[in-house]
């Protein structure tokens, strides 16, 4: 934009003033019309309204200050009118900048229907975890948690898996790298079961104990329709005076009926776990065929669902190192551990364990 100098006025009569202001106003209008972009608008503002070197300041100095007294009023009015014109031009130019398109794009059409937000829902695994824990909460159990990165000691040793004992091979373990310089008991791994939280609980609290522990566990297993390297378990532990295998049977029979319906029967099948003696697998009558035998139960009428047993005195001996009240001569207890995915798959008729982790809304939406 050309910045022509403001000429000095030679005459101050009405016609001369109109002409002079007319010329300047015309210059302002032409300059404003050619503006594009925020920077140009700002330059225009400085050029016309800038306090020190703006053209209006110059007009004020060259025309107003030197005008004869009788012309001052008319000059002042015309000056103010010109200033209003320039400000108007500036407002227009600023408002009509490139922002306009952006503003239009953001404009809200309030006549359009709104975006409906989907209501969140519990994941079927979370829901099953909650169902299981609330069955036991109703029996007076509290709920505990423990770390997912565990030491060799808690995951294995104190659960009566001695170092190098073949029972460790039943739980293919993911270990944390570069632990070789530590003593074996301190080496870190991803817990393969929730059982270590039994010991963590006993170490911090003398008997009686009634606790369920829901949580995530890891195994170095290949994924297939029913296995996943990450899955969930609910652990249970009950320790008191005179706890017997009958208490274990009654508690788990009740829990299975609460989870699968009062028609299910349970049976306790001899098994082995290092941390329980005796140990059992709990089987429930097949919920698909009622026990007659079908493809789901491999014609046996029974489905194996969880492990359990009476707490091994060797486990109490480890607990007694920190809490002497865990004296196996005075107290007894039972423990159990169940796979949450397996229970959820049975309850909801899911055939692929991977469906839980795929994040497919068509699957998850069915639990909303
Ligand atoms: N920790 C066992 C596993 O992951 C499950 C289990 C079995 C837990 C028997 C127990 C129990 O507390 O008594 O295979």
- For residue 120, give the DSSP letter: P
Ligand 1 centroid from CA 336, angstroms? 6
Token pair 């050029």: residue: 47
Token pair 């293919």: residue: 172
Q: Give the SS3 label for residue 206.
A: coil
Query: Which numbered atom of ligand 1 lies nearest the CA of 192?
Result: 4
Query: Domain 124-367, CATH 1.10.10.10 — does that match?
Result: no
pLDDT tens for each residue of the chain, 368 residues long? 445 788 888 888 888 889 989 999 998 889 888 888 888 888 888 999 888 888 989 988 888 888 888 888 888 999 999 999 998 888 888 876 555 667 777 788 888 888 888 888 899 999 999 999 999 999 999 999 999 999 999 999 999 999 999 999 989 999 999 999 999 999 999 999 999 999 999 999 999 999 999 999 999 999 999 999 999 999 999 999 999 999 999 999 999 999 999 999 999 999 999 999 999 999 999 999 999 999 999 999 999 999 999 999 999 999 999 999 999 999 999 999 999 999 999 999 999 999 999 999 999 999 98
Ligand 1 centroid from CA 6, angstroms? 95
Q: What is the C-alpha separation between 19 and 9, in angstroms, rounded? A: 11
Contact criterion met (CB below 8 Å) for 206 and 324: no
What token pair was written down for 68? 């004869």
Most informative mutation of 336, 338, 339 for ligand 1 (most atoms within 8 A of CB): 336
Phi/psi at 169 (5° precision): -65, -15
Ligand 1 centroid from CA 335, angstroms? 8
pLDDT value of position 1: 45
How many residues would you count in the chain? 368
Provide DSSP, 352-363.
-GGGGTS--HHH
Give yes or no for residue 281 CB within 6 A of ligand 1.
Answer: no
Task: Give the contacts of 328 (CB within 8 A, at least 6 positions apart).
Answer: 313, 316, 317, 320
Q: Give the SS3 label for residue 221.
A: coil
Q: What is the C-alpha separation between 216 and 233, in angstroms, rounded? A: 6
Q: What is the C-alpha separation between 209 and 237, in angstroms, rounded? A: 7
pLDDT value of position 8: 86
Q: What is the C-alpha separation between 158 and 199, in angstroms, rounded? A: 7
Q: Give the SS3 label for residue 286.
A: coil
Query: Which numbered atom of ligand 1 lies nearest the CA of 159?
Result: 1
Give residue limits of the domains in the chain.
2-106, 124-367
What token pair was written down for 250? 């009654």
Give yes or no for residue 274 CB within 6 A of ligand 1.
Answer: no
Give yes or no for residue 339 CB within 6 A of ligand 1.
Answer: no
Where residue 291 falls (left for φ over 0; alpha for ψ -120 to 50; beta otherwise) is: left
Q: How far is CA 136 from CA 3, 131, 251, 337, in A?
A: 87, 9, 9, 13
pTM (2 d.p.): 0.71
Q: What is the C-alpha separation between 39 and 24, in angstroms, rounded? A: 22
Ligand 1 centroid from CA 191, angstroms? 12
Query: Which numbered atom of ligand 1 lies nearest the CA of 334?
Result: 13
pLDDT value of position 96: 60
Ligand 1 centroid from CA 110, angstroms? 59
């Amino acid at each position: 934009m050309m910045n022509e100098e403001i000429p000095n006025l030679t005459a101050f009569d009405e016609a001369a003033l109109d002409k002079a202001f007319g010329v300047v106003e015309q210059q302002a209008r032409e300059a404003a019309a050619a503006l594009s972009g925020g920077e140009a608008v700002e330059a225009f503002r400085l050029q016309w309204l800038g306090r020190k070197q703006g053209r209006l300041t110059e007009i004020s100095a060259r025309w107003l200050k030197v005008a004869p007294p009788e012309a001052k009023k008319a000059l002042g009015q015309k000056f103010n009118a010109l200033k209003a014109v320039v400000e108007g031009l500036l407002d227009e130019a600023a408002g009509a900048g490139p922002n306009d398109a952006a503003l239009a794009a953001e404009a809200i059409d309030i006549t359009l229907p709104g975006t409906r937000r989907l209501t969140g829902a519990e994941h079927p695994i979370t829901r099953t975890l909650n169902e299981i824990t609330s069955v036991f909460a109703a029996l007076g159990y509290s709920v505990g948690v423990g770390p997912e990165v565990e030491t060799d000691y808690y995951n294995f040793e104190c659960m009566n898996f001695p170092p190098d004992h073949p029972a460790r091979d039943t739980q293919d373990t993911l270990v944390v790298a570069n632990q070789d310089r530590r003593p074996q008991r301190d080496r870190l791994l991803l817990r393969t079961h929730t059982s270590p939280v039994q010991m963590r609980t006993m170490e911090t609290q003398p008997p009686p104990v009634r606790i369920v522990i829901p949580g995530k566990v890891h195994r170095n297993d290949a994924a297939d329709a029913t296995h996943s390297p990450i899955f969930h378990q609910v652990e249970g532990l009950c320790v008191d005076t005179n706890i017997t295998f009958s208490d274990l049977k009654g508690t788990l029979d009740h829990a299975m009926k609460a989870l699968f319906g009062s028609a299910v029967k349970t049976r306790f099948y001899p098994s082995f776990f290092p941390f329980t003696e005796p140990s059992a697998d709990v089987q429930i009558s097949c919920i698909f065929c009622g026990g007659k035998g079908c493809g789901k139960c491999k014609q046996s009428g029974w489905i194996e669902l969880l492990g359990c047993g009476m707490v091994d005195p060797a486990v109490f001996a480890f607990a007694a190192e920190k809490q002497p009240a865990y004296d196996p001569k005075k107290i007894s207890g039972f423990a159990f551990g169940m796979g949450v995915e397996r229970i959820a798959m049975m309850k909801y008729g899911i055939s692929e364990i991977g469906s839980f982790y795929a994040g497919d809304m068509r699957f998850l939406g069915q639990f909303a």
